[in-house]
Amino acid sequence: MSILDRIPAHEWRDLLVAWIAISVAFTLIFVRGGVTPITFLVFFVVSLLTVGIGFVLHEMAHKFTAMHYGYWAEFRKDNSMLLIAIVMAALVGIVFAAPGATMIYGSTSRPQNGWISAAGPLTNLALCIPFAAIAILSPPSGILWILGRVGLQVNAMIATFNMLPVSILDGRKVLAWNPLVFGILIAVSLAVLFGSLAYL
């Protein structure tokens, strides 16, 4: 069975809807204070390629790590949270994105659950590398520079947010499994986030 065969049609639909909704929410943040159709389209494409990719690969990292351990896993969107994300972005200028979750079927051990949870933030941190390279190597204020800067900052934000040791977030599960790994991941996430905000 290929990787694509492990993502059923209904999961593709959930991922696509969540991807588009999150991208719309972040686009509304980027264009606050005035927008033309062209500006909206540009930032929507930027959001699709940065926020959207970061979100999809984060969830797929959870899914395929779980499947590596022999468990079936699928992403399930949350329509209510997707609507809240768009409304809050439009009215308040804040994105609270909890678009859904990757559901794992089976009883995982604590180390397995720790690795499955860590896989998402690790993926976002890995994505920071090519986006940082694009931003550094591109002329300032150009479209590629914007793409690289947004991709770096957003993926650092996704990693940092998910590593918070609260509620159902990844950080709580990683901390319960291995405090050292938790400490390293949240420290690196914060360093990348603050560094990207300070220098780009």
- The residues that are catalytic are 59
CA torsion through residues 148, 152, 157, 163, sign: positive
| CA–CA gap between residue 32 and residue 122 (Å, rounded) | 31
Q: Say if residues 69 and 111 touch (Cβ distance below 8 Å).
A: no
Strand 100-105 relative to strand 72-77, pairing: antiparallel
User: Could you tell me if 179 and 149 are in contact, meaning their C-beta atoms sit under 8 angstroms apart?
Assistant: no
The secondary structure element, H or E, covering residue 161 is helix 143-162
Q: What does residue 81 show for φ and ψ, rounded to 5 degrees?
A: -70, -35
